[in-house]
Amino acid sequence: MSDRKGHSHIYFDELVRLKIPALSERGAENNRLILRTIALNGPMLKYRIFKNAQIGRYSTVSRRVDSLTEKGYLGEASKRATERGKQAEEPMYGLTWRGFIASTTIKEVREDIFQVLESNPLLAIPEKETVLVVLKEIVTREELATICRSLLEAFLKSVPSLEFVENEPMSILAWLLSIKEKPVFPDGFKLSGIPKDAWELLGLLDRPPILGVVKEKIVPLVRQKTMEMEALYHLLSAVNRFCDFVSGLRVEDEPSKRVREYVEGELKMLSEHPNIQKLLEEE
């Protein structure tokens, strides 16, 4: 068993070198240290990266950060005053999605994916905070690390090079969905917190973070959509009534005058409907 694991580890390391140029080119070890430091701590000034990554020279860190930024592994997350010198504003560098994938080749990063996603603002997804709250309740850190390792290996097998993949989540997702070989998980691996049926799913409401998400995010969204659907129903009903009204008109009824009066009355009635008023106010 140990031989198979050792062989798998060697194969994975070779796959990383083949598919992630930043981790195989000159300076690869320093690149790895920089990616690890930013992944676990969030955006940093170059000088702070130098202090935390424990790389011998500041000039080396500066060159490596510039190279990683140019190649799309890092991006400018914000600016802040330097910690030395003239106190001028300098960029704080954070992980991009390309940098995130490269950093997950490092075991320590995979074991703290929640922290990495929370700390790096360039790793943006819709409702990120809500997604992370739910994931923390149904997947353990160890389980997520295992999933990440298996998906990463399958992903790297599918791409010619990480630098060929567009640096945004939908492109990465498209590659993941196109993987021909299924990710290989350890024998007996299963997610302990995934609900097995609807009743277990309801049981998640007993967990304060999940109940908080439902009350703060899902309930308001459902109410908003319900209000919009009700308003739409009234608008469509008004259109249907208008069609019936026009169908009953005759030329001698002065149609243009009657239609104008009818439309003005309908618009007044609709504008007084509370849900339609709310929609108009939001617009």
- List per-residue pLDDT tens for the chain, 283 residues long: 334 455 566 688 899 999 999 999 889 999 999 999 999 999 999 999 999 998 989 999 999 999 999 999 999 988 776 655 566 788 999 999 999 999 999 999 999 999 999 999 999 888 888 888 888 888 889 999 999 999 999 999 989 999 999 988 888 888 888 887 778 888 888 877 777 777 777 777 788 888 887 888 788 878 888 877 887 787 888 888 888 888 988 888 788 888 888 888 888 877 777 766 665 566 5
d(CA 166, CA 183): 22
pLDDT of residue 3: 42
**How far apart (Å, rounded) are the C-alpha atoms in residues 66 and 31?**
11
> What letter does residue 216 receive in the DSSP assignment?
I
Chain-centroid distance of CA 12 in Å reads 26
At 204 the pLDDT is: 74
Measured from the Cβ of residue 236, the count of other Cβ atoms closer than 10 Å reads 10
**Phi, psi (rounded to 5 degrees) for 86:** -85, 5
* pLDDT for position 268: 81
The distance of Cα 51 from the centroid of its chain, to the nearest Å, equals 30
Residue matched to tokens 């000088």:
47
The pair of structure tokens assigned to 235 is 């608008």
pLDDT for the residue numbered 85: 58
Phi, psi dihedrals of residue 271, rounded to the nearest 5°: -65, -20
Angle separating helix axes 28-41 and 46-53, nearest 10 degrees: 100
pLDDT at 189: 82
Q: Tell me phi and psi for residue 95, to 5 degrees.
A: -70, 135
Count of alpha carbons within 13 Å of 246, Cβ hemisphere only?
10
CA distance 184 to 106: 18
Token pair 């992980």: residue: 95
Distance CA 175, CA 162 (A): 11
Tokens 């990383």 sit on residue: 16
**Beta-carbon contacts of residue 141 (< 8 Å; ≥ 6 apart):** 111, 112, 113, 114
Which DSSP symbol is given to 44? B
Report pLDDT for 114: 93
In 3D, which of 139, 135, 173 has the Cα closest to residue 155?
173
Q: Where are the alpha helices (DSSP H) in 42-160?
A: 46-53, 58-70, 97-103, 107-110, 113-119, 128-138, 141-158
Amino acid found at 160 = P
pLDDT for residue 111? 94
